[in-house]
Each structure stands twice: as structure tokens, then as C-alpha cells.
Amino acid sequence: MTAVDTNILVRYAVKDDRKQAQQATEFLKQNPCRLLKTVLLEFVWVLASSAGYNLPRAVVAERVRHVCGLPTIDLEDASSVAQAVCWYEQGMDFADALHLASSSLLEGFATFDRRLFVKADTLSDQKITLLS
């Protein structure tokens, strides 16, 4: 199994470079691949950021689900990723959503980030502590 980098996922999902998109597609089709949460985090940032492709949240979520659902993809911590994508669609920052979802088996999550606290309190049932 091979871990894939963000650039392979971007070429596959965006297809803005024909040759690399074809190579990425063939690689993902023919090889068992591990998708690390750190790569997924960067993938979402590249797709959503104004410094990247500036795609709408719904499009980003659809492309993340598509890539994660490929038959050759083994996703690190799939349940946390699935939860994070749902919260992202509901307006939470993806990084915050992934951090919070990844803490689900712990006693809670602590932050100074008031916006994260409010979103998490609204969207999740996980214990979150706001430090001041």
C-alpha cells in the first residue's frame, strides 16, 4: 500500500493538468492507496482556499467523498473523516471539524477558539471546553 500526496488527489479531482490528471487517475485506479488525514486536510485547503481553487463548500465535500470512496483508497480514521466532512458541510472549518471528530474517543476537546466552540456546541454532542 502506498500513501498518496495531496497533489495526486488535486490532479485527480480538478483535472486542470491533462497529463497529470491522467497519471493520477491511473495510479489511483491501479494501486492500493492509504489516504492520511494530514493529506486530506491539505486537500480540502487547496480546493477551498482562495489561494487554491476557491471551490464552493458543497463541491469540496462532494470531491472529498468521491476520493475517499474510491475502491483502492484505505482512509485513515474513516469514521472521524466522515463526521468532519458532515460538519464541514454544515459550516464548520474543516481543520476544526477534523480535530474535533478525531478527539471523539477522548474526554473532550479544549480550545481558545470561540467560533469553534460555538459551532461545535451547535453541531456536535462532543464535550468541548472553551478556555478564556
CB-based burial label for 106 (10 Å; 0-12, 13-18, 19+): exposed
With a cut of 90, say whether residue 23 has pLDDT above it: yes
Q: What pTM was computed for the model?
A: 0.90
Evaluated on CA atoms 84, 99, 94, 116, the torsion sign reads positive
39 contacts: CB under 8 Å, gap ≥ 6: 3, 4, 5, 6, 9
Average pLDDT, the chain: 94
Residues 38-59 have pLDDT tens digits of: 999 999 999 999 999 999 999 9
Residues 61-115 have pLDDT tens digits of: 999 999 999 999 999 999 999 999 999 999 999 999 999 999 988 888 999 999 9
Would you state the pLDDT for residue 12?
Answer: 97
Would you state the pLDDT for residue 32?
Answer: 97
Show me where the domains of the chain are located: 2-76
Residue 91 sits at the vertex; the CA angle it makes with 85 and 97, to the nearest 5 degrees, is 45
Q: Give the rounded percent of residues in the chain with a pLDDT score beyond 70.
A: 100
Would you place residue 124 in the very low, low, confident or very high pLDDT band (cuts 50, 70, 90)?
Answer: confident
